[in-house]
Amino acid sequence: MTANKETKTEAEKAKTAKTAEKEKTAKTAEKAKTAEKAKTAKTAEKEKTAKTAEKEKTAKTAEKTKTAKTAKTAEKEKTAKTAEKEKTAKTAEKEKTAKTAEKAKPAKSADFRKSAGNPDTKTPRQTISKMPVVKRAIKPVPLSKLPLFPISKKPDNRANFKAIWDILQQLYPKPEVELDFETPFEILTATILSAQCTDRQVNTVTQFLFKKYRAIEDYANADPAEFGKDIYSTGFYNSKTKHVIGCANAILKDYGGAVPDTMKELTKLPGVGRKTANIVLSRGFGINDGIAVDTHVKRLSGKIGLTEQEDPEKIEQDLMKLAKREDYDNLSLTLIFHGRRVCDAKKPKCDVCAIQEMCPSAFI
């Protein structure tokens, strides 16, 4: 019995030992499994980290490439802009050179328009003794129905301008300037000399003057005292000498010897206002930029009732609103001729004036 008990005890021990061994083996396996899992997790983590690092590296590389491309593109754009600026600068320089060259060209001669012997105001051939026959195609507004100008309170006759202009064009169909000239500088000179002087006297002086001083350089280098004697008979010779010689020097210095053909540039010349500039533009270049307002134009436009202004530039603006651009020069010449031949300042010939019925100042 004792032996059986010991045997049983021994068997239990062996069983216990086997169970312990199994548990140990299980623990070892568990540890190994855990370690394997940890190792696998670690490996996965490393791979993940490596992949992340690779992605970051790729992203950085892509960013660097993009930055490089952007820089390259910016450089190209900068180069293109620089090239465009250089091209623009070259074009501007070419245009400037072309303009300078154009200005430096000798003045283009205008068509020679001699006065054809048209007499001035002091010759009896201009006296009109009877009413001229004209067609009255436009019915005028009666003078009694005309409104009044707001400031002067004189009759505002602008509504009858077309009817008046239609008749005046019949009286003076092809008005030509009475000053003799062959070049723009000659008409500039003649116009300056014509201030407070008749066209006939100016033509007498310029007949000699234009032969003595042929080139613009001759005027620029002229002796003021000698030039003053040459133009003495036109009156105000000191100021006229100063203006003519001053214009010649300015044109040589600033415009390459060619008379400028714009109002802006012409009025920069010594002694040249809008009236003189308009005459040079229209009669020297054939450009109708404005209306030359001299004493006749100023006086007649007021008497007829086309303006209430007294300032020549304001009168010019009023007349420009009424006339067509192509008629600007003819309107100025026509009013001048009518003022010389009919509407004399001291003794107007209202009885033989073809526009008397439309003139608020007739017989006054």
CATH number at residue 232: 1.10.340.30
Any domain includes 176? yes
Indicate whether 42 and 184 sit together in one domain: no
Output the pLDDT for position 147: 96
Q: 68 with 145, same domain?
A: no
Query: Do residues 222 and 212 make contact, with C-beta atoms less than 8 angstroms apart?
Result: no
Q: Tell me which residue range forms the domain holding 319.
A: 124-358
Q: Look at residue 262 and tell me if it is in a domain.
A: yes
Determine the pLDDT at residue 73. Answer: 77
Residue at which a domain ends, from 104, 137, 160:
104
pLDDT value at position 7?
67
Could you give the residue numbers annotated as active site?
275, 294
- The C-alpha atoms of residue 188 and residue 171 are separated, in whole angstroms, by 28
Domain end among 71, 104, 137: 104
Strand, coil or helix: 108: coil
10 lies in some domain: no
In-domain check, residue 363: no
Residues 71 and 135 placed together within one structural domain of the fold: no
The answer on 136 and 72 residing in a single domain is no
Of 42, 70, 104, the residue that ends a domain is 104
Tell me whether residue 131 is in a domain: yes
Side-chain-side CA neighbours of 227 within 13 Å: the count stands at 21
Which structure tokens are listed for 281? 């533009």
| 241 shares a domain with 153 | yes
In a shared domain, residues 99 and 178: no
pLDDT in tens, the chain (364 residues): 555 556 667 777 777 777 777 777 777 777 777 777 777 777 777 878 878 878 888 877 777 777 777 777 778 878 878 878 887 777 777 676 555 544 444 444 444 344 444 444 333 335 567 888 899 999 999 999 999 999 999 999 999 999 999 999 999 998 888 899 999 999 999 999 999 999 999 999 999 999 999 999 999 999 999 999 999 999 999 999 999 999 999 999 999 999 999 999 999 999 999 999 999 999 989 999 999 999 999 999 999 999 999 999 999 999 999 999 999 999 999 999 999 999 999 999 999 999 999 999 998 8
Answer yes or no: do 48 and 81 share one domain.
yes
Same domain, 183 and 235: yes
Q: Which of 324, 322, 297, 325 is CA-nearest to residue 311?
A: 297
The answer to whether position 17 is within a domain reads no
Cα separation, 259 vs 119, in Å, equals 29
Beta-carbon count within 10 A of 220 CB:
19
Q: How many CA atoms lie within 13 A of 275 on its CB side?
A: 20
Q: Which pLDDT score, from 0 to 100, does residue 268 have?
A: 97
- Do both 242 and 340 map to the same domain? yes
Query: Which helix (H) or strand (E) covers residue 324, if one does?
Result: none
Residues 100 and 176 grouped into a single domain: no
Q: Provide the number of structural domains found in the chain.
A: 2
**Domain-located, residue 298:** yes
Looking at the structure, tell me whether residues 46 and 96 fall in a common domain.
yes
The token duo for 3 is 């032996």
114 falls within a domain: no
Together in a domain, 313 and 176: yes
Three-state secondary-structure class, residue 349: coil
